[in-house]
Amino acid sequence: MNTAVLTSGAAMDRRVAAPRRYGLTALAIVAMLAVALLLARYWPRGVPVSRADVEIAAARPGAFRDVVVGRAIAQPLQSVLLDATEDGRVEQVLVKDGERVEAGQLLVSLSSTQRAQELMARSSEAAQQLANFSTLRAAWMQAQALQRRTLTEGQFELERVRRLHQRNAGLAAQGFLSASALEDSADKLALAERLFAQQQADGREELAVREQSVQAMQRAVADLNKRLDAMRTASEGLAVRAPVAGRVTGLALQVGESVRSGIRIARLDSLGRFKLDLRLDEFHLGRVREGLTAALAYEGREYDLHVARIDPQVKDGRFSVELTFDADPPPLQVGQGLDVRLTLGNTQQALLLRDGGFYADTGGAWAFVVDADGHHAPRRPLQLGRRADGVIEVLGGLHPGEQVIVSPYRAFAAATSLQLD
C-alpha cells in the first residue's frame, strides 16, 4: 500500500516538472534572439579595414582626355640580320660590337678547308670541260671548211660535165656526134647532179650533228661555270660584309671559333633612325588602330608620332604597338625608355574616377563605395567605361563627390561590405 502511493506521487512530480523545463528553454531562445538583434544593431558591420591601408578617391566631373600614357622603348627603325651562310672558322674579326660601319665594309673573315678543296676540284673540272669544248668546236669548224671545199669541187665538176654535155648536144645536132655518145654524155651529167646533191645533203647532216654536239658541250660548260660561280659566291660568303651602313650589334665572335651555317653573327641597326615599342594594357586592344597619333616630350621639345603596326598577341596582359616619328627623331639610344602619350579619341566631359588596382580585381563591375558617415563601405555595382591618362570614365552607379576605395581588393574580395577604422 505504501509503495503504490509513493510511485504514484513520483509520476505526478515528473509531469509537473516537464512543463517547467520546456518553459525555461523557450525563454532562453527568446533571450538569445534578443541578444542577436542587439548585436546586429550595434556591432560594427562589414570586414574591418584600416583606412590607412586603402586608397580612397572621389568621383569628380571633368574633361576625359582619351589619352593613354605608356612606357616605350627606343628601337632602331630598321635592322639587318647577318647570319653565316657557310660552315667555317673565324680568321679575322675586323670590327667591334657597337661600331659604326659603311655598306660593303668587311666585318668578319672566315675560312673553310673543305670549301677551298671543292672549289679547286670544280675549277679543274671546268677547265677540262672548256678544253674539250674547244677541241670539239675546232673539229666542227674544220668539218665546215672541208664541207665547203668538197661542195666547191663537186660544183666545179658538175659545171664541167654540164658544159661538156652542152657541147656534145651541139655536135650531135650538126651530125658530128652519134646518139649513143650524146646519151652517155647525158647520163654523166645526171650522175654529176645526183652526186652533187648527195654531197650537199650529207654535208648538212654531218654539220648538224656536229653543231648539236658543240651546243650540248657549250651548255654543259655553261652549267658547270654557273655551279663554279655559285661556289665562288659561297666562298665569298665566308667574308662577311655589311650590306648597308649601320651600327653593329651582337657581334661576339672570337678568332679561331668554329661557325656553323645559319648561326647569327651580328645585327646592323639603322643610324639616327628610331621607332618606339609601346606596351599597352590589353584593355585598349580593341581601340588601338594604325594611324593614331602620339606625342613624345623629350628635352624640352615635343615630337609627333603615329601608330605604324600593332602586334595583337597578348603577353602578361599587355600587347605591343609600334610607333614611328613623323619627322626626324631626337638623338636617342637603343633600349632607352620614354613616356609616350597615345591619343585614342576626342576630349569629352564625363564623371571621372581615379584609376587604381581595384579595376584589375573586379573588372570594373563593382567597387566598395564609402557611405556618408565615412565608416562603412558596402559593395556597389558600377558601370565604368574608358580608361585613359590615369582616370576611368563613370557611366553609372556613382554620383559626383561619392568616394570609392580604389586600391586592390585581393585581401577582402569576398566581402560584401567594409568597416573603415
The least confident of 26-40, 115-129, 170-184 is: 26-40
**Tens-place pLDDT, residues 197-223:** 888 888 888 888 888 888 888 887 788
pLDDT mean over 334-362: 89
Q: What string of H, E and C letters represents the secondary structure of 144-165?
A: HHHHHHHHHHHHHHHHHHHHHH
Q: Residue 18: is its pLDDT beyond 80?
A: no
CATH H superfamily, domain 69-76+272-343: Efflux pump adaptor protein, beta barrel domain (2.40.30.170)
**Tens-place pLDDT, residues 154-185:** 888 889 888 988 888 888 888 888 888 888 88
pTM value is 0.47
Which percentage of the chain shows pLDDT scores above 90? 22
Do 69-76+272-343 and 79-112+238-268 come out as alike in CATH topology? Answer: no
DSSP string, 240-282: EE-SSSEEEES----TT-EE-TT-EEEEEEPSS-EEEEEEEEG
**pLDDT given for residue 11 in this prediction:** 45
Q: Residue 55: is its pLDDT beyond 90?
A: yes
The Cα–Cα gap between 20 and 13 comes to 11
Longest dimension (CA), the chain: 203
Q: Where are the domains of the chain?
A: 1-43, 47-63+349-420, 69-76+272-343, 79-112+238-268, 114-236
**pLDDT given for residue 31 in this prediction:** 58
**pLDDT given for residue 351 in this prediction:** 93
Q: What share of the chain is helix, strand, coil (3-state, %, to 5)?
A: 40, 30, 25
**Tens-place pLDDT, residues 66-89:** 788 889 999 888 888 888 877 778
- Average of per-residue pLDDT values in the chain: 81
CATH class of domain segment(s) 47-63+349-420: mainly beta
The Cα–Cα gap between 219 and 222 comes to 5
**pLDDT given for residue 227 in this prediction:** 74
* The CATH number, out of the four listed (3.30.300.30, 2.40.50.100, 3.40.50.9100, 3.40.50.300), of the domain defined by the range 79-112+238-268: 2.40.50.100
Q: Residue 45: is its pLDDT beyond 90?
A: no
Q: Residue 374: is its pLDDT beyond 70?
A: yes
Q: Residue 20: is its pLDDT beyond 60?
A: no
pLDDT mean over 134-142: 81
